[in-house]
Chain A
Amino acid sequence: MKAFEHILVTKNYRNHQHVGLIQLNRPKVLNAISTDLMKELVEALFILEDDQDIRVIILTGNDRAFAAGADIGQMAENSPIDQISDNRQRLWKQMTLINKPIIAAVNGFALGSGCELAMACDFIIAGDTARFGQPEIKIGTIPGAGGTQRLTRAIGKSKAMLAVLTGEMMDAYEAEKSGLVAKVVPAETLMQETFEIAKIIANRAPVAVRLAKEAVNMAFESSLKEGLEFERRNFYLTFSSKDQKEGMKAFMEKREPKYQGN
Chain B
Amino acid sequence: MKTFETVKYEIQDGTAVITINRPQVYNALNVQGKLDIIAAIREANKDQAVRSIILAAEGKAFCSGQDLNDRTVDASKGPVDIGHTIETEWNPLITAIRTSEKLVIGAIQGVCAGAGLSIALSCDLKIAAPGVRFISGFSQIGLAPDAGMSFILARQMGYSKALEFALLGKPLLSEDMLKYDFINQVVENPLEAALVLSHDINQLAPLSVKMVKKNFQFAAEKTMDEVLLREKYAQRYLGFSEDYKEGVGAFLEKRKPNFKGQ
Contact = CB atoms under 8 A, between A and B. Distances in A.
Interface of A: 128-129, 185-186, 188-189, 192-193, 196
Contacts of B230: 185-186
A189 B237 CA distance: 6
Chain B's interface: helix, strand, loop or mixed, by majority? helix
Contacts of B99: 129
A203 B214 CA distance: 32
Contacts of B240: 192
Query: Which of B211, B230, B233, B237 has its CB near the most chain A CB atoms (within 10 A)?
Result: B233
B236 interface: yes
Contacts of B214: 128, 186
B242 to A, nearest CB: 14
Contacts of A186: 211, 214, 230, 233-234, 237
Interface of B: 99, 207, 210-211, 214, 230, 233-234, 236-237, 240
B65 to A, nearest CB: 27
A105 to B, nearest CB: 13
Contacts of A189: 233-234, 236-237
B221 to A, nearest CB: 10
A14 B249 CA distance: 24
Nearest to A196: B236
B64 to A, nearest CB: 31
Given A185-B230, A185-B233, 13 more contacts: A129-B99, A186-B214, A186-B234, A188-B210, A188-B211, A188-B234, A188-B237, A189-B234, A192-B233, A192-B236, A192-B237, A192-B240, A193-B233
A84 to B, nearest CB: 39
Contacts of A196: 236
Nearest to B215: A186
Contacts of A193: 233, 236
A110 to B, nearest CB: 18
